[in-house]
Structure formats: C-alpha cells, structure tokens
Amino acid sequence: MKVTDVKMEVYRWPRHKPIRNGRYTYSTSGLNVVKIETDEGVTGYGYSGGVQGAEEIGISILDYMKQFVVGQDPFDNERIWDELWQPKLVGRRGITTRVISGIDIAIWDIKGKVANRPVHKMLGGFADKIPVYIAGGYYEEDKGLEDLAEEMEKAVSMGADAVKMKIGGASINEDVERVRVVRDAVGPNVKLMMDANCAYRYFEAIDIAKKVERYDVYWFEEPVNPDDYEGHRLISRSTHIPVATGENEYTRYGFRDLIQNRCAAIIQPDALIMGGITEFMKVAALAQAHDLPLAPHGKQEVHIHLVTAIPNGLILEYYSDSTDPMWNNMFNEQLKVENGYVFAPDRPGIGFEPNEDALAQYRVA
C-alpha cells in the first residue's frame, strides 16, 4: 500500500454567541480535515489543530510536507513522522507541528481501517470506557451567575459527573464567586475543574487557588504561560489543588521538560497540536514512567482512542452544543455520555469521518 495524495480541507462556522476564556474571545468554531488517499482505495481522515486566520498558511505547509508522505507505506508511521519533523526547516512548534499532527492521525486512521480494528485496539486497548467531563463555563455577553449555574446543571444532566469552567477573565474575587456558584449548582459529588488558559502571573494563580480550595476543585488548568515552568512549580507547591497543563506543549521534547520540572500533577497533551498519535504515545509512556496521569485536551473523537489505550489515562474532555453548534453534525457518528463514561468505538480506524454534507456550506479553504 502506498499514499497517493495528501490534502487539507478547512471549515469554519459561527458559534451561538462569542465565547471568552481567560485571555481570548472566539466567535467561530471549525474543523481542519487532513485527507490521505492510498492506491488501495483506503482513505484516512486526520484532524489538525487550527489557527483562525492562518488557514492558508496551514495548507501551504501541508503542500510542502506532502512530498515526504506521498509514495510511503502508511504503516511506516515512525519513519514518516521523523521525515516530517525537521525543526531546522519547518519549526519546532506551532502551525507546522499541528499540520504534522493531522497527517499522523490520518495515517493511523488508515492503519486501523486496513487492520479492521479501532485505533484504541491498535495502540494497546487498555480500557473499553473512560470517565468524562463536560467542558464549558465560558464568559459570554449578558451571561450571569444564574446562567452559568444552569449551564453546569445541564452538563451534569447529560450523564456526566465532572464539569470544567473558565476563570481568569474577571477579577479574582469575581471568579471565586463564580466557582462557588458552580459548586453549589452541581453539588458535592461532581468533580469541578477550573481552567485559566494561561491568564495569570504565578502569584495571582496562587492567590485564587488558595481562595477556592474550600470548593473542592479537582484541578487547576493552565494557570500561567506554558513556558513558565518555575511558575507552575511554585503554584503546585502552594496549593493542594492539582495543577494540570500541556495543551500548548509540543512533541516529546517539550513534555520531557514539563515533566522533569515537575510542573504539573496531570499532563494534558493534545494530539491535534503536539505531533499526532505517534508522538502522543511517546508522551504517554514518559508520563507513565513518572507515575503521572494523562487527561488529553481537545477533540473527543480522537482522544477517546488514546486515553483508553493507555494505563495512565485519567479522563476525557467532552464538548457539547453549549460551546459548538455543529457538535451533533460535525461527524458521521457521535460519542454519547453514559453514567459518567464514554465508551471507545468499535469501528475500524478513528471511526469518526467528517459529515461532508453538513459541513459543505462552511468550507473556507
């Protein structure tokens, strides 16, 4: 089997309302689809972390990289990855690594389809299901505390027993009150995560962590900038709330430094950003060697395979229609939350192909 073509299709659509985290406002959502075709008629679909406004850059990078993929056997994923990641030429982090991620995920989709096995079985098949949390709790115009509480209650009603909310976009005391309201809304038995999206300096993060400890916060995500390893370590030593981070880290080398510096208790790689499935599995093994659990960030349709394949998979992030109006129509299948868990799919490959009919009107590149 040989690869005959590699291409990317980009889709963008408006959200119900613009949403804001601790630092950024997002008015659209989207999907970057990497499609790899082979001479045996098997097509692989991969998904790449996108940068709004830089779609053409991503496509240009992919057009450059396809020379290292076309003509290759998809089962040689290690060799393909190594040829793609030449940091002197294409950069160590950022859009180039995100494009590599999409290519690599599509290659694993092909491998699973040819083997007639789901990717989580190809990778190790440690578990058939994984606990799940609903991500949300963004800031929105005219969204008050009652609305926030109602959103979190709805998330729990979906069948989840864990939720995540945003902080860092208001004053510390305002966010402490928001955390209190959510804890009261979901009750004492639901896990509550808070995510600052790198909004704080380390001493501000320590301040809010101490103030919300009484609300039994399950983890404190991305309190400071990803390169502030010492800040992460100081925060970790100042609170009993576990620090979680990694969604903006790249490759095994970045995670090596993150882990060696003991920056976090929970590691959060995103396979669509940090180098794809091939690289994710190296990070998972590195974390396991340090007795650290993984809770991947981002696309649940990909990460359900990865978090169930490994012994140190902790929990799956899950996005619903509260943050994305295409949640139920983006793919040909959907993951369902059942009694706090999501079950790994049994379809070959990734098992989630883009719903091209529904997406067609939103194609931008």
Second CATH level (architecture) for the domain 121-343:
Alpha-Beta Barrel (3.20)
**pLDDT above 90 (res 79):** yes
Domain edges within the chain:
3-116+356-362, 121-343
Residues 343-365 have a mean pLDDT of 96
**pLDDT above 90 (res 31):** yes
Residues 46-75 have a mean pLDDT of 91
Residue showing tokens 């709330």: 241
**pLDDT above 90 (res 92):** no
**pLDDT above 80 (res 50):** no
Which stretch of 13-27, 116-130, 290-304 has the lowest confidence by average pLDDT? 13-27
**pLDDT above 80 (res 267):** yes
Residues 323-336 have a mean pLDDT of 90
Second CATH level (architecture) for the domain 3-116+356-362:
2-Layer Sandwich (3.30)
CA-closest candidate to residue 247, choices 182, 294, 309: 294
pTM value? Answer: 0.96
Pairing of strands 25-38, 3-20: antiparallel
Average pLDDT, the chain: 96
Contact 190, 204 (CB under 8 A): no
**pLDDT above 90 (res 322):** no
pLDDT band at 365 (very low <50, low <70, confident <90, very high): confident
User: Rounded distance, CA 358 to CA 365, Å?
Assistant: 16
Query: Which candidate in 297, 299, 303, 305 is catalytic?
Result: 297
Query: Which candidate in 166, 191, 299, 305 is catalytic?
Result: 166
**Residues 115-122: contacts with CB under 8 Å, at least 24 apart:** 115/348, 116/348, 117/348, 118/305, 118/344, 118/345, 118/346, 118/347, 118/348, 118/349, 118/351, 119/277, 119/305, 119/309, 119/349, 119/350, 119/351, 120/304, 120/305, 120/306, 120/308, 120/309, 120/344, 121/309
Signed CA dihedral, 336, 342, 346, 347: sign only: positive
Amino acid at 68: F
pLDDT of residue 87: 80
pLDDT band at 262 (very low <50, low <70, confident <90, very high): very high
pLDDT band at 51 (very low <50, low <70, confident <90, very high): confident
**pLDDT above 80 (res 53):** no
User: Rounded distance, CA 4 to CA 288, Å?
Assistant: 37
pLDDT of residue 88: 73
Residues 164-191 have a mean pLDDT of 98
CA-closest candidate to residue 341, choices 126, 120, 127: 127
Residues 48-61 have a mean pLDDT of 85
Is 297 tagged catalytic? yes
User: pLDDT digits over 232-253, tens only?
Assistant: 999 999 999 999 999 999 999 9
pLDDT of residue 56: 87
CA-closest candidate to residue 56, choices 98, 9, 97, 90: 9
pLDDT of residue 55: 82
**pLDDT above 90 (res 327):** no
| % the chain with pLDDT above 70 | 100
Question: What are the two backbone dihedrals, phi and then psi, of residue 7, each rounded to the nearest 5 degrees?
Answer: -150, 165
User: pLDDT digits over 281-316, tens only?
Assistant: 999 999 999 999 999 999 999 999 999 999 999 999
Q: What is the DSSP letter of 240?
A: S
